[in-house]
Amino acid sequence: MSDCLTRPAAAPAPAAEQPLRLMPRPQAHAPAAGPWSVQAVAELMAMPFMQLVARAQAVHAEHWPQGDVELASLLSVKTGGCPEDCGYCPQSAHHDTGVEAGKLMELDSVLEAARTAQAAGAARFCMGAAWRAPKDRDIEKVAALVKGVKDLGLQTCVTLGMLEKHQARALREAGLDYYNHNLDSAPDFYNEIIGTRTYQDRLDTLSNVREAGISVCCGGIVGMGETREQRAGLLVELANLNPPPESVPINQLVRVEGTPLAGAEPVDPFEVVRVVAAARILMPRSRVRLSAGRRELGDGIQALCFLAGANSIFYGDKLLVTGNPEADGDRALMARLDLPVARPGSGPAPLSEPAGTA
């Protein structure tokens, strides 16, 4: 596999876009109907709401005819004390949020949590550690966690911060299926919320993960003060990766006291639906996951998100250190909406024609 990610070849980007500074690579899997421009995606998101949702649902039905929803569980295996200054994050050492720094959890405790998640129906078990970049000795310990969870029959995912190439390879050898590393926002808004890590740092980690043969989980956050055009810019960055992420988590900002974004103006929940719909259209074969902030969305907006193409949720009562709808409530919602739960390893329909023609 080539050693980097890039957008497919295209006409020069408009001045409003910031091109990726990466080496070219062969086009093994071009983005659906791409490459996309910020202007085109902003126009897509500005469609009349019902028309946008209907278009997204048509794409979703074509590529995910089973209509199932993947349940993923997330455990914080190393909480707090992160040296990054991300404005939304209660685990940052820069913010006084009451979250204390802890050590990496022991294997037995992690496996107990994984068994509980599996018994509740989760197909994927995600482990998060509040590091800027793990040391090699940290990777050895996480690799043991990955192997243990993998042996239970669950898909595995970790989010550990920035990775070097050899670290990504070590995790793949341990059986890691997915690596989560979000872009968070559009390039032209990123510096408003993060000052300790560059956008290119994030892209480099994604490149290292891809080269190691690990699937990518990568998305962003809605409601940090960005414009709709900047939300479109985030989706352009994701969709124009070659290939696009297999999982795309869409988070609504959870405002936590003590963080710089605690006083952010709440976003219109219908904007979250628009982002989900656009993500489905741009990335028809990706799992689009409703992640942080589902509690604030409520059942009705979540139902619209599922209609617009969301087909994965984080499942359980906590996402790292913030609240999430309880598992019983999630199961009840799935039943009320007649949404089947995905089996481990289930994916999109086989390609019969180039993706994204809808």
Tracing tokens 């209907």 back to the chain, one arrives at 54
- Residue 175 burial (10 A CB sphere; 0-12, 13-18, 19+): middle
Helix (H/G/I), strand (E/B), else coil: 215: strand
**279, 250 in Cβ contact below 8 A?**
yes
With both helix axes pointing from N to C terminus, report the angle between 294-307 and 49-63 in degrees, rounded to the nearest 10: 70
Selecting among 89, 124, 255, 280, the annotated active-site residue is 89
Let me know if 4 is a catalytic residue. Answer: no
Selecting among 86, 210, 255, 294, the annotated active-site residue is 86
Name the residue among 247, 235, 157, 168 with its Cα closest to residue 204: 168
Selecting among 169, 197, 217, 218, the annotated active-site residue is 217
Let me know if 218 is a catalytic residue. Answer: no
How long a stretch of residues is the chain? 358
- Residue 219 CA to residue 119 CA, distance in Å, equals 27
Let me know if 126 is a catalytic residue. Answer: yes
Let me know if 157 is a catalytic residue. Answer: yes
Selecting among 4, 7, 124, 157, the annotated active-site residue is 157
Tracing tokens 């980097």 back to the chain, one arrives at 4
Residue 290 has phi, psi (to 5 degrees) of: -75, 120
Q: Which residues sit opposite 314 in a β-bridge? A: 72
- Residue 139 CA to residue 176 CA, distance in Å, equals 12
Residues 179, 182, 187: CA angle, nearest 5 degrees: 145
Q: Are strands 124-129 and 70-78 parallel, antiparallel or unpaired?
A: parallel
Q: Which residues sit opposite 180 in a β-bridge? A: 217
Selecting among 4, 126, 218, 305, the annotated active-site residue is 126
Tracing tokens 């992690």 back to the chain, one arrives at 110
Selecting among 4, 55, 82, 285, the annotated active-site residue is 82
Q: What residues are annotated to the active site?
A: 82, 86, 89, 126, 157, 217, 289
